[in-house]
Amino acid sequence: MRMLVHKYGGTSVGTLEKIKKIAKRVILEKENGYEMVVVVSAMGKTTDHLVEMSKEISKNPSRRELDLILSTGEQVSIALLSMAFQELGYDAIALTGFQAGIKTYGPHTKNKILDIDSDKIQNYLSQGKIVVVAGFQGINDEGDITTLGRGGSDTTAVALAAKLNCPCHIYTDVDGIYSVDPRLYPQAKKLQTVSYEEMMEMASLGAGVMEARAIEIAYKYNIPIYVASSMNDVEGTYIKEYDEKMEENIITGLSISDDSLMVTISRIPDQIEHIAMIFEKLAQENVNVDMISQTAPLSGVISLSFTAPKDDLFIIEKIMSEFNEGFEVSIEQEMTKISVVGIGMRNQSGVSGRLFRLLANHDIKVKQVTTSEISISYMIETKYKETAVSVLSKELNL
């Protein structure tokens, strides 16, 4: 039995007309001999609207109840798409994450997939049904509905493809993966192929086309991913295993994220116990800390800076308010992280010097820097974002 997993994002299912169009696309694959599993997100901005409503009721809503309300968006999508298939004469069934056997663990709103019991899905496929699965959600050991965080539908789709051992096609509102977000740099080039490793790095650093955990699963189980437009029939981008040709370009892409804030804590006594206490409290509240920098001791005190998601602002403010040791705390929200990514950086020296010189020539102040084997990330004030994206893209021929 040849199987294929399709995933359609929120924009792709944003209207009833788009849902009908998706149904016809999937049916073409069905007619070509594939048994089809289709994963969908909530329609349009439904999830944002549900979050806004929740925060009008409570500034810090219960994460369990937030999961419950957020999961309803995908349930609407799967029911409508299943109806569209049935109206066109094809047998289909809609399954929530729980019904699809998606078992999860972790804190509410940030769960991870533990396992998938695919027996029910495979049984429906053997009956010739098109199986429509709600992305972004599952169920934990306590029987609570859970969600996987933003971009979780990508993770659902790739995890299902891994379990079913079949390719995964991700259809979205862009026609592939670009070196830079075309909305920020219209001259950006579309990539024909990109390695799992580069795509993981780009996604984790802010590229919005794919979710990092989804790429990690694909990499682990060697699941080929094809990313393309749900609206236009043009060639997309393949995410695949690394090959030597990929090193020809030192830099593959530029990732941009406005989702982080930066916290700076000054006048901390130069004792490791204080640093440990700060990060223990953040970990207890499931705050995902990204960049970290610390100054050298001066007169017995140090300064510490770190970045974290803006969604955790309320929790961070609460944690910072608990410190009574005379620390001085500032939180900057108008921040942007710009990251250059390329597998060719492994064997190329001088990249960081070239980039720092470029930023300096345009008076772009860098607040923090972090590196990996294949990336360099800069935290800058958002007012410099447009200039930084433009000059880096041109210099690196992206």
Q: What is the pLDDT along the chain (398 residues), one digit of tens a residue?
A: 799 999 999 889 999 999 999 999 999 999 999 999 999 999 999 999 999 999 999 988 999 999 999 999 999 999 999 999 999 999 999 999 999 999 999 999 999 999 999 999 999 999 999 999 999 999 999 999 999 987 899 999 999 999 999 999 999 888 889 888 888 889 988 988 888 988 888 887 776 778 888 999 999 999 999 999 888 888 999 998 876 665 566 788 888 988 889 999 888 888 888 889 888 989 988 888 888 988 888 888 888 899 999 988 988 988 888 776 678 888 999 999 998 888 878 777 778 888 889 899 999 999 988 888 888 899 999 999 999 999 999 888 88
Residue 118 covered by a domain: yes
Residue 234 covered by a domain: no
In this structure, the number of other CB atoms found within 10 A of the CB of residue 238 comes to 17
- CATH number for the domain spanning 12: value is 3.40.1160.10
Q: What is the pLDDT of residue 300?
A: 86
Q: What is the pLDDT of residue 112?
A: 94
Q: What is the pLDDT of residue 98?
A: 95
Residue 298 covered by a domain: no
Residue 111 covered by a domain: yes
Q: What is the pLDDT of residue 396?
A: 86
Owning domain of residue 70: 3-173
The residue assigned the tokens 């004030």 is 381
Q: What is the pLDDT of residue 64?
A: 95
Which candidate, 341, 337, 396, places its Cα nearest to that of 366? 337
Considering only the C-alpha atoms of the chain, give the largest distance between any 2 of them, rounded to a whole number of Å. Answer: 77
Residue 392 covered by a domain: no
219 touches 240 (CB < 8 A)? no
**Dihedral sign from CA coordinates of 268, 273, 275, 281:** negative
Q: What is the pLDDT of residue 325?
A: 65
Is 70 buried (19+), middle (13-18) or exposed (0-12) by CB count in 10 A? buried
State how many domains the chain has: 1
Residue 53 covered by a domain: yes
Residue 39 covered by a domain: yes
Residue 144 covered by a domain: yes
